[in-house]
Amino acid sequence: MKAMILAAGRGERLRPLTDHTPKPLLPVAGRPLIEYTIIALEKAGFVNIVINLAHLGENIRQALGDGGHLGVCIEYSNEAEKRLETGGGIFHALPILGSEPFLVVNGDIATNFPFAQVPTSIDGLAHLVLVPNPDHHQHGDFALDGMMVHPDGESRYTYSGIGVYHPDLFLSCTPGKFRLAPLLRQAMTGQKVTGELYEGFWTDVGSLERLKLLEDEIREGVFPAL
């Protein structure tokens, strides 16, 4: 199974750091943020990785190269400065990702999630990893009922930025900028999205405060400094 890391975002909430450094390359305890994800994926057996590029994308390509020094093979999906959003970015990369289900991981998260346990085949169009709602996103994104994910419901959780997708999720799409969430919500209405709740370490490094908190958690051993 191939894995895709979403790394094309502008990182507005992390400015001015991201004016000159793409968010995935921001240093955390002496290592670029994205390398924590790449190393975790490699340890779980994901050695073929696709990374999409937009804002300062060439900096990411120059820093990571073909991924050989990290034990993986990296291919790049170049969006130039189009910033195709999550859905458009994945759709743009489909020729590289192939015709089988693939794993997608946001490039701005840090987690101890066991990637080796993600399903390599799915019953439906997507399988999402959800997490308890953090303080900055208390209302969550989707509801989980058993293994089925619904647009709304009582037990609402936050999408972790980790999911397995079947290319058929994008059958009705055309090239351009579009978000992933509406596609998922449409698939949920047809009972085509499964999910699971992960209650281990996870953080969305989306602000200067949370970037500093991650540094502290590494120092305290909450998140491993690889």
pLDDT tens by residue, 54-109:
888 899 999 999 999 999 999 999 997 677 999 999 999 999 999 999 999 999 89
- Rounded to whole angstroms, what are the CA distances from 197 to 7, 43, 50, 152? 24, 22, 25, 16
Element (H, E) at 109: strand 109-111
Model pLDDT for residues 103-148, shown as the tens digit of each residue = 999 998 999 999 999 999 998 999 999 999 988 788 889 999 999 9
Query: Which two three-digit tokens encode residue 109?
Result: 């998260």
- pTM of the predicted model as reported, rounded to 2 decimal places: 0.93
Distance between CA atoms of residues 152 and 140, nearest Å: 10
At residue 219, the pLDDT reads: 78
- CATH superfamily name and code, 3-219: Spore Coat Polysaccharide Biosynthesis Protein SpsA; Chain A (3.90.550.10)
| 3-state secondary structure (DSSP) of residue 203 | strand
pLDDT at residue 226, rounded to an integer: 46
The span from the CA of 194 to the CA of 140, in Å, is 16
Mean per-residue pLDDT of the chain: 90
Average pLDDT over residues 8-26: 76
